[in-house]
Amino acid sequence: MSEINLGVTCDMHVHLRDGAMCQLITPTVRQGGISVAYIMPNLQPPITTIERVVDYKKQLQALAPQTTFLMSFYLSKDLTPELIHEAASIGAIDGVKCYPAGVTTNSSSGVDPNDFSAFYPIFNAMEQEGLVLNLHGEKPSTGENGNDIHVLNAEESFLPALKKLHQDFPNLKIILEHCTTAAAIETIEMINKGITDPAKIKVAATITAHHLYLTIDDWAGNPINFCKPVAKLPKDKRALVSAAISGKPYFFFGSDSAPHPLSNKARHINVCAGVYSQSLAIPYLAQVFEEQDSIDKLKGFVSDFGLQFYGVKKEDLKSLDEAIIFKRKQVVPNSISDGEGIIVAPFKAGDKLDWSVKWASK
Amino acid sequence: MSEINLGVTCDMHVHLRDGAMCQLITPTVRQGGISVAYIMPNLQPPITTIERVVDYKKQLQALAPQTTFLMSFYLSKDLTPELIHEAASIGAIDGVKCYPAGVTTNSSSGVDPNDFSAFYPIFNAMEQEGLVLNLHGEKPSTGENGNDIHVLNAEESFLPALKKLHQDFPNLKIILEHCTTAAAIETIEMINKGITDPAKIKVAATITAHHLYLTIDDWAGNPINFCKPVAKLPKDKRALVSAAISGKPYFFFGSDSAPHPLSNKARHINVCAGVYSQSLAIPYLAQVFEEQDSIDKLKGFVSDFGLQFYGVKKEDLKSLDEAIIFKRKQVVPNSISDGEGIIVAPFKAGDKLDWSVKWASK
């Protein structure tokens, strides 16, 4: 059986929550074949202080000593340029996550994406420090009032704001997180046109595992697949798959694995948005890449490109182990549980996957 | 407080199920302000014999003696032209419902809408008998394979088949049920262009109450609002509202009220499609019509146009009572229940409605 070495893998968009959920989920980063994880700050309340981000990282590290955690602040009015400089100087954070107010889980403290100008001093400080700005790139829905922003066009409607930010901060590293539309892929391509040196990429996009599988029909009537941004149309999915297997260094992996207790997914109203894919992250991806005859492109997508963009240094890694994929079928469990009440249903529960992942010690 | 007399009201698309659900739901037709109800045949197995449709009507009548039930067959290979003629001659049915295979609840016995030709002898018999063909107008989803039919374009993709049917059977009475798109409204308008005599209308459309409220954002994450066809975009909703309040006799009410046990809605996978709106059908509508300053158009939509199209005769009515709406606020209950395990969550559970409905004896 042939094995493929993916090197030091990274997932640049990970939700590990806190409390009992955090204890259950944090060890599954490594189980899913991921070595380096960039951690989202949307706890309740959001992470906006050095003390909290340091403490959170310590908790995570205790739960998963071999996983390297990159940490982030939650963009809000609580941040100051001074705080950004201080946090960067001690290596407390690698970036800042921007949530438009109200679009997804714990985003009520988010910002108005129609006007980022209040945060320009923050972005300026980030640009100086080489920190990454992670954008949840959706305009908040307006329903039938205003300009008809809804879950299908929310991402495309955000793209002008992305372009303006890049224009105003040409040296700020920006990621359009979990992109879901052909329009987003085109915008990232356009911004990077002519760039051949990966070190010169300033605007990149992460792509999740689940958006390589899902379209609107898969979440209509299946809350397990409901996430924000929602999976879009077949043509959008094809654009995402093409980008993921393209070998272009400005498209890399960010699972947006977002666990919720099953009881918050199996509801008739107010289903929590999020797909949990952490425990099988690499096998989900390998399946898609192989179907596209592009398994050779997987290493770039899950290792090289993300590590390069974030500037992760070898000396900062908690482990040099390399992820090895090999052909061994497995069935996605219907749920994972801590045995004490926390139950999470993984993406593609009950389905078969062709690939497994293991670690090679270094 | 002013009262408005809506006359003998009708809901031309009603699911009453069977068993315990039927016992709970059937009396709510009248509670919701509806006198005449056209009943869907998608039981398990589907209703395709005179014996079953007569028996089902008898059950319903016993549960709701004052409600007038119009009955239908389920279009399938079990039907023959002889059966259609016989059923019509004894008044057992008023129409035949066509479900494309696999698009909604209990539609696995449905037909392939890409080719209706196998059913042309049935349609011919129906045309002769003046029976109504009720179309669930959606192409089955194909996902990313084939021609990219998905829940958003499934109805628009069906419209050419509707036009061809009308062309091939110009005297067959056809209803495009529960239409959800601006494209469908435009098609119905186009087909009826120049028709001024309501008796000459051959192709009409029903519109539900819930589609006058919902857009995609309302069912994303809220299975209570998930139905087939799914609610579409804000522009589509506006087109539906415009059609409903237009006073055009080829747009009338069909609630598609489709109750499911709450346990089948509050799931993380395989949520049943259907919105239950029967118990407050008229108050839901009155709210929308008043918001549009069109309460004077409600009577046509919920009474005159549907009765005219179906040719309902006064002597066939079980009651001549007239529905009266009046301004009295009420809160939609969170659920209705038979106290023995059947629980159904109504549309807009917990929300306030401005109107109530009562009956004036005749």
CA distances from B200 to B10, B203, B207, B250, B312 (A): 20, 9, 20, 10, 15
- Write out pLDDT tens, residues B50-72: 999 999 999 999 999 999 999 99
| Percent of chain A surpassing pLDDT 70 | 99
A352 belongs to a structural domain: no
Contact B220 A151 (CB under 8 A): yes
* AA letter at B297: K
Nearest Cα residue in chain A from B144: A234
Test B221 with A270 for CB contact under 8 angstroms.
yes
Report the length, in residues, of chain B.
Answer: 362
Query: Which residues are CB-neighbours of A330 under 8 A, at least 6 positions away?
Result: A280, A283, A352, A353, A356
User: Would B30 be classed as within a structural domain?
Assistant: yes
Q: Is A230 touching B (CB cutoff 8 A)?
A: yes
Q: Which of A107, A138, A211, A217 to mutate to test the interface with B (most CBs of B within 10 A)?
A: A217
- A348 is a domain residue: no
User: Is residue B279 within 8 Å of B332, Cβ to Cβ?
Assistant: no
Residue, of B143 and A253, whose pLDDT is higher: A253
Select from A238, A266, A271 the Cβ nearest to the Cβ of B222: A271
Q: Which residues of B touch A234 (CB under 8 A)?
A: 143-144, 148, 150
- pLDDT for residue A114: 77
A143 and B234 within 8 Å at the Cβ level: the answer is: yes
- Decide if A76 contacts A48 (C-beta within 8 A): yes
Domain of B61, in residue numbers? 9-320
- For testing contact with chain A, the best of B142, B217, B230, B262 (most A CBs within 10 A): B217
Burial zone of A299 (CB within 10 Å; 0-12 exposed, 13-18 middle, 19+ buried): buried
Q: A217 and B143: CB-CB below 8 Å? A: yes
Q: What is the DSSP string of B269-337?
A: S-PPP-B--GGGHHHHHHHHHHHTT-GGGHHIIIIIHHHHHHT--GGG-S---EEEEEEEEEEPPS-EE
The span from the CA of A346 to the CA of B31, in Å, is 43
Chain A contact for B170 (CB, 8 A cutoff): no
The Cα–Cα gap between A262 and A276 comes to: 11
Residue-level pLDDT at B143: 55
ipTM: 0.94
Quick: pLDDT tens for A157-186.
999 999 999 999 999 999 999 999 999 999
Sort B313 into a burial class: Cβ within 10 Å, 0-12 / 13-18 / 19+: exposed
Whether residue A223 and residue B273 make contact (CB cut-off 8 A), yes or no, is no
The total number of structural domains that make up chain A: 1
Whether pLDDT at B147 is above 90? no
Q: Quote the pLDDT of residue A1.
A: 54
Residues from chain A contacting residue B150 (CB–CB below 8 Å): 215-217, 233-234
Q: Which CATH number belongs to the domain containing residue A109 in this structure?
A: 3.20.20.140
Question: Distance between the two ends of chain B, CA-based, in angstroms?
Answer: 22
Q: Using a CB-CB distance cutoff of 8 angstroms, which residues of chain A are in contact with residue B151? A: 216-217, 220
Which of the four pLDDT bands, split at 50, 70 and 90, describes residue B110?
confident
Minimum CA–CA partner of B149 in chain A: A234
Task: Judge whether residue B137 has pLDDT over 70.
Answer: yes
Token reading at B45? 């197995």
Mean pLDDT calculated for residue range B161-180: 97
Q: What is the end-to-end Cα distance of chain A in Å, rounded?
A: 22
The model's pLDDT over B270-326, given as tens digits with 9 standing for 90+, comes to 999 999 999 999 999 999 999 999 999 999 999 999 999 999 999 999 999 999 999
The backbone torsions φ and ψ at residue A355, rounded to the nearest 5 degrees and listed phi first, read -115, 150
pLDDT of residue B362: 83
Indicate whether A231 belongs to any domain: yes
pLDDT of residue A109: 73
pLDDT at A140 over 90: no
**How much is the pLDDT for B105?**
72
Q: Taking all residues of chain B, what is their mean pLDDT, rounded to a whole number? A: 95
Give the nearest partner residue to B234 out of A148, A223, A270, using CB atoms: A148
pLDDT confidence bin for A145, thresholds 50/70/90: low
Edge-to-edge strand order for the sheet containing A36-39?
A10-14, A36-39, A68-70
Classify residue B355: in a domain, yes or no.
no
Number of other residues whose CB lies within 10 A of the CB of residue B90: 9
What's the pLDDT score for residue A143?
55
Q: Which residue in B151, B152, B267 is closest to A266 by CB distance?
A: B267
For chain A, the C-alpha Rg in angstroms (whole number) is 19
The 10s digit of each residue's pLDDT in A282-298 is 999 999 999 999 999 99
Phi, psi of A137 (to 5 degrees): -90, 70
Enumerate the residues of chain B whose CB falls inside 8 A of the CB of residue A215.
143-144, 150
| pLDDT one-digit tens code per residue, A220-259 | 999 999 999 999 999 999 999 999 999 999 999 999 999 9
Q: A334 in a domain, yes or no?
A: no
A115 closest CA partner among A150, A140, A79: A140
Asked if the structure places residue A267 within a domain, the reply is yes
Best to test chain B binding among A269, A271, A336 (most B CBs inside 10 Å): A269
Measure the CA–CA gap between B208 and B184, rounded to whole angstroms: 14
Mean pLDDT of A146-156: 91
**Contact criterion met (CB < 8 Å) for B273 and A221:** yes
Chain A interface includes B271 (CB < 8 A): yes
Is position B349 within any domain?
Answer: no
Tell me the pLDDT tens digit for each residue of B22-59: 999 999 999 999 999 999 999 999 999 999 999 999 99
Q: A267 vs B152: CB contact, 8 Å cut-off?
A: no
Flag if B233 and A271 touch (Cβ within 8 Å). Answer: no
Residues A332-341 have a mean pLDDT of: 96
B233 and A265 within 8 Å at the Cβ level: the answer is: no
Are B268 and A224 within 8 A, CB to CB? yes
DSSP 8-class letter at A175: E
Q: Which of A150, A222, A235 lies closest to B269 in CB terms?
A: A222
Query: Confidence band (pLDDT; 50, 70, 90) for B146?
Result: low
- Nearest chain B Cα distance for residue A258, angstroms: 15
Q: Do A238 and B144 touch (CB under 8 A)?
A: yes
Say whether B151 and A220 touch across the interface (CB within 8 A).
yes
- Res. B205 pLDDT band, cuts 50 70 90: very high
CA distance A86 to A38: 20
B145, pLDDT greater than 70: no
Asked whether residue B80 carries a pLDDT value surpassing 70, the answer given is yes
Measured between CB atoms, does B227 come within 8 Å of chain A? no
> Rounded to an integer, what distance in angstroms lies between the CA atom of residue B163 and that of residue A293?
43
**A:B CB pairs within 8 Å:** 96
Query: Considering only A38-42, A97-101, B290-294, which range has the smallest mean pLDDT?
Result: A97-101
Instruction: Identify which has the larger pLDDT, B322 or A112.
Output: B322
A266 touches chain B (CB under 8 A): yes
* Interchain CB distance below 8 Å, A271 and B215: no
Task: Answer whether B265 touches A (CB < 8 Å).
Answer: yes
Secondary structure letter of residue B100 according to DSSP: B
